[in-house]
Amino acid sequence: MKRIAALRMLTVIATVAIADAASAQTSYVRYEQAGDISWGELEGSTIHQLSDAPYLGGTRTGRTTMESAVTMKAPVDPTLVFMTALNFRSSISGTPAQYPGLFTVPASSIIGPGEYIVRPVGSENLHYEAEMVVVIGKRAVNVSPEDAPDYIFGVAAGNDVTERAWQGTDVQWVRAKGTRGFNAVGPVLVAGLDYTNLQIEGRLNGEVRQGENSSDLIFDMNYLVSYISTYFTLEPGDLIWSGTMGNTRAMQPGDVYEVEIEGIGILRNEVVQGH
């Protein structure tokens, strides 16, 4: 009987711990309604409008709306967007590089959940890349890896769409990685998640094509915050992408790619042909 009672107590403790962890997580959105774009805190299907971005101290205005009544935008509004290449062992052959494969793309390349990925005229080999995206919460300069968690506000899912033909021929990757509408982020920005241990999955038309855990990163997000802030000043709202895993393949107009990260949800975007 004592053993049964002890097991029951452990179950109760575990249940409470899970509930506490869930309650510590908050989901934020950016949305458009009647031509205005606002930030909001999402509770179930209700959006509580915020006075500003949550990482800028935005608070509830008292206004609410239903999720179904608005158009969701990317839950980010960065100035700088840093990306990482070859950061999962499954995406490389041989010994990992000594330093992160760092590059930037224009913030104008970002789209939100449900928006179209437009394949530009001249694109021949457009690939998906499921990734994790972290959002900086306060100015970061020369941050140590140990202190980096204090500078990460939250996490979202991302699809770093890449034109492989341009990536292989251009001197820089900015066109191949940063063309308008190439980088989808969403569906929400979640604060309070353990971003060091999140399962990331990518699906093409419902078929699993990518899957790995953020714990498998060669350079984890704390290290990336430290490394990047050594050379660049990170401001609230700036983005750091994890890099993708495994091998990728081409997408065609009509294809739908989904990136799902536990605790965040599903980022879904369809590919269409541009003119």
**Per residue in 28-87, pLDDT tens?**
999 999 999 999 999 999 999 999 999 999 999 999 999 999 999 999 999 999 999 999
pLDDT at 46: 98
Average pLDDT over every residue of 188-199: 98
Of the chain, the percentage scoring pLDDT greater than 70 comes to 92
Average pLDDT over every residue of 252-270: 98
**In Å, how far are 7, 52, 176 from 237, measured between CA atoms?**
45, 12, 24
In degrees and rounded to multiples of 5, residue 229 shows phi and psi of: -70, -10
pLDDT at 12: 45
- Looking at the predicted structure, is the pLDDT value of residue 145 above 60? yes
Coil vs helix vs strand at 23: helix
CA-to-CA distance for 111 and 253, rounded, in angstroms? 17
Domain ranges of the chain: 2-71, 81-273
pLDDT at 5: 56
Q: What is the pTM of this model?
A: 0.91
**What CATH fold (topology level) applies to the domain 81-273?**
Fumarylacetoacetate hydrolase; domain 2 (3.90.850)
Lowest mean pLDDT among 3-7, 185-189, 266-270: 3-7
- Looking at the predicted structure, is the pLDDT value of residue 22 above 80? no
CATH architecture of the domain covering 2-71: Roll (2.30)
Strands of the chain, DSSP E:
26-33, 36-43, 46-50, 60-66, 71-73, 81-85, 101-104, 110-111, 117-119, 126-127, 130-136, 152-160, 162-163, 183-191, 199-204, 207-213, 239-241, 256-261, 265-273
Q: How would residue 19 be classed by pLDDT, with cut points 50, 70 and 90? A: very low
pLDDT at 24: 87
- Looking at the predicted structure, is the pLDDT value of residue 15 above 60? no
